[in-house]
Structure 1
Amino acid sequence: MKLFRPILAIAAASAIAVGAATAAPADAAPVTAAQAAGNTPVGTVKNWNANPAPIAVSTGEKAKWVDEVDHNKVWAFWVSSPSMGRDIPVAVIPARNEAGQLVKNAPTVYLLNGAGGAEQNNDWLTYADTQKFYGDKGVNVVIPMEGAFSYYTDWLNTPQAEYFRGPQKWETFLTKELPGPIEQRLGADNRRAIVGFSMSGTSALVLPTKIPGFYDAAASFSGCAATSTFAPYNFARLTVNRGAGAAGANYQTVTPEQMWGPMGGPYNRANDALVNADKLRGTALYVSTATGLASENDMMGTLVGKGATPAQASAAAMTLQVEGGVIEAAINTCNHDLRAKLNKLQIPAHYEFRNVGTHSWPDWRKDLENSWWKTIKPAFKM
């Protein structure tokens, strides 16, 4: 899918310091990081210079997000994953108040990248100016910078492919190995939220069903809650196939069967947030989608106005309107199914259903702000 290639950039818009401010006490998720981890070995937070800078698989060069790391407004660490046997790069926007002071006992927002992720320079720091928005909100923002095409789930079998470096045990990493160590390093409290878009929008709904009460809030931008029926399962097939790289993208090298087993099987259903929607009760929810109909952001003239040449703008607009439109229309159906299920279960959520818009960054950037004001901040009682 060309939607996430670099041309569409045009369409996008160390320790806690002494004397840091302290956040006011607030209610927190009832499940602590230690309780979530149980007997699972947790990771170790390592300084950024412990390993060479990450390389973007798509370019073979240093990942672009690394240039945002100034060890002031944006920090970076390596966190070991015992289950995956390697260190994972993690970007952090430390909690600061409007005066620029570091804040102790602050909540943590976990942002998950989409399908191509940092491995394709398609991440929250590179595309969305996330550091500018969250820089004065008084919350820690933690962004794992690996996991392209993984659905941030625990795979049953490890693919041998370009974008998969060893075991894929992302649920274990995100819910057990990472939170305790990183939250301790940041001096965070027990309040936390998880946010994802596109592929990781699915993950942001699935992970809270695995440990109910662990997240105060969850936000899914253009994600599909369902995974175990024909259309969503095969949408996942299209996504994970891209993880094979150009040479191996044959729908056999990387498959959803490797990830979740057979469609509709027990493990697949265990990773379906629509099936397990009752476990979202008590988590503040934000769910967004558009219709796939082109908006102003998807028009050639808008892209030319942002600096594209007419040829670039024409190609990008075509990709947004055709590929991005089809994807978002499918996601729209997923999210209406989720709303119907949650309504039946009498589980409240904030829905941001737009009349126009494609599967692209401009709307997700808006969602980043909307989800904070409408769902995450209230859930943190800030």
Structure 2
Amino acid sequence: MTTERIEHRACFGGWQDVYRHRSEVLGCDMTVGVYLPPQVEQGPCPVLYWLSGLTCTEQNFITKAGAQRYAAEHGIILVAPDTSPRGEDVADAEGYDLGKGAGFYVNATQAPWASHYRMYDYIVDELPTWVEADPMASDRRAISGHSMGGHGALTIALKNPGRYRSVSAFSPIVAPTQVPWGQKAFAAYLGDDREAWKAWDTVELIRQAREQLPLLVDQGDADEFLQGQLKPELLQAAAAEAGHPLTLRMRPGYDHSYYFIASFIGDHIAHHAAALNA
């Protein structure tokens, strides 16, 4: 894989880097933020993959979340990829919730999306193959994300039992088959067969999960998308019915922004550290 480091900044005793690399899966160049904690000087460190939400690039998390401080404390590498394929020949659409910046972490099956929009394969296979080939990274991994990225983190963990030591999410889209954001994206990327959509829906996947990996979810009760797009009560009901371990924390007064993420990212990284370093 051809890679180029395009940013390199000292941060909490480690380094916040950004790389550009060629993705064969997506058929385009991609950028990804990688935070290396100071502990990499002593040996391989576990990796936390962060999936961002609609309209985001790798920059949102690395500049707004304040996660590097906690990653440095716990000795965790943070990997924050872009949210979709990019480039002039990559299909796009009007609006923020479809196309570039809105990959939804699925493998598209419909034209014109299928040739590039394979974010699931990129996150699960191609990106970790590159990251974990570096001797600074171990094969102990966790996954987290926000909104569309929370959807991605939860579904990817549920679809890949044994691959991740832990999973968490902020304000995730837990039932994309039942809300406008997901319905618009899935109709475009996956076609009209709503049964096929269920393979990318946390509420559906939790009913048949083959691993009881505990889910940690934080949700602000002042989130402007709470009722129309997020519906955490659907996840709570599905987890209760399936007997799947879920910690759902409703946070009074918090909205959908990175102010919310920055307030509790330390809790999430500590949660992952406990599993990754066990």
Q: Structures share a fold, TM > 0.5?
A: yes
Aligned partner of 2:192 in structure 1 is 262
Aligned match of 2:172: 223
Task: Say whether the 8 Å CA contact 1:84–1:167 is kept in structure 2.
Answer: yes
The structure whose residues are more often helix, as a share, is 1
Which of residues 76, 85, 93 in structure 1 aligns to 2:35?
93
Q: CA deviation at 1:331?
A: 5.1
Q: Equivalences for 1:204-353 in 2 at 5 Å?
A: 204-229=153-178, 232=179, 234-236=180-182, 255-262=185-192, 264-266=194-196, 268-277=197-206, 278-279=208-209, 281-292=211-222, 324-325=223-224, 327-330=225-228, 334-353=231-250
Deviations 1:101-142 (A, max 9, x none): 6342221000112111128x5x10122222233233211111
Q: CA deviation at 1:45?
A: 5.5
**Number of corresponding residues:** 259
What are structure 1's unaligned runs of at least 5 residues? 1-43, 54-65, 239-254, 293-323
Counterparts in 2 of 1:79 and 1:186: CA distance versus 1, 3 Å? farther
Equivalent of 2:78, from 116, 134, 141?
Answer: 141
Q: 2:55 aligns with which of 113, 116, 123?
A: 116
Residue type of the partner of 1:236?
A: G
Q: Distance in 1 between matches of 2:112 and 2:241?
A: 38
Alignment pair present for 1:155 and 2:108: yes
* Residue 121 of structure 2 corresponds to residue 172 of structure 1: yes
Q: Aligned with 2:265: secondary structure?
A: helix
Which one has the largest radius of gyration?
1
Residue 150 of structure 2 corresponds to residue 201 of structure 1: yes
Using a 3 Å threshold, how does the CA distance of structure 1 residues 283 and 82 change in structure 2: closer, same or farther?
Answer: same
The DSSP-based 3-state class of the residue aligned with 2:38 is coil
Cα deviation, residue 92, structure 1: 0.7
Distance verdict in 2 for CA 1:227–1:169, change over 3 Å: same
Question: Does residue 75 of the first structure (1) align with residue 17 of the second (2)?
Answer: yes
- Provide Cα deviations, 1:60-93, integer angstroms capped at 9, x if missing partner: xxxxxx5x74595112323332221223211111
TM-score, reference length from structure 2: 0.82
More strand by percentage: 2
Residue aligning to 1:128: 65
Aligned equivalents of 2:79, 2:42: Cα separation in 1: 15
Contact 1:291 1:329 in 2 (8 A): no
Partner of 1:228, secondary structure, is helix
CA contact under 8 A between 1:218 and 1:284: conserved in structure 2? yes
Report what 2:95 is aligned to. none
Q: Any idea what SS the aligned residue of 1:190 has?
A: strand
Which residue identity does 2:205 align to in structure 1? N
- Aligned-partner Cα distance in 2 for 1:153–1:70: 34
Which whole-Å CA distance do the structure 2 matches of 1:80 and 1:282 have between them?
35
Are the counterparts in 1 of residues 15 and 37 from structure 2 also a CA contact under 8 Å?
Answer: no
Q: Does the aligned pair in 2 maintain the 1:79–1:87 contact within 8 Å?
A: yes
Match of 2:88 in 1: none
- Counterpart code for 2:38: R
Asked if the contact 2:159/2:205 (under 8 Å) is kept, the reply is no
Identity of aligned residues (%): 20
What RMSD, in angstroms, separates the aligned Cα atoms of the two structures? 2.6
Q: Which runs of 5+ in 2 are unaligned?
A: 85-100
| C-alpha distance in 1 between matches for 2:251 and 2:227 | 11
How far is the alpha carbon of 1:260 from its aligned partner?
2.4
- For 1:225 and 1:69, the matched residues in 2 are separated by 35
Task: Say if 1:155 and 1:259, in contact at 8 Å, map to a contact too.
Answer: yes
Contact 1:105-1:187 within 8 A present in 2 as well: yes
What amino acid maps onto 2:227 in structure 1?
A: A
Tell me the equivalent position of 2:252.
355
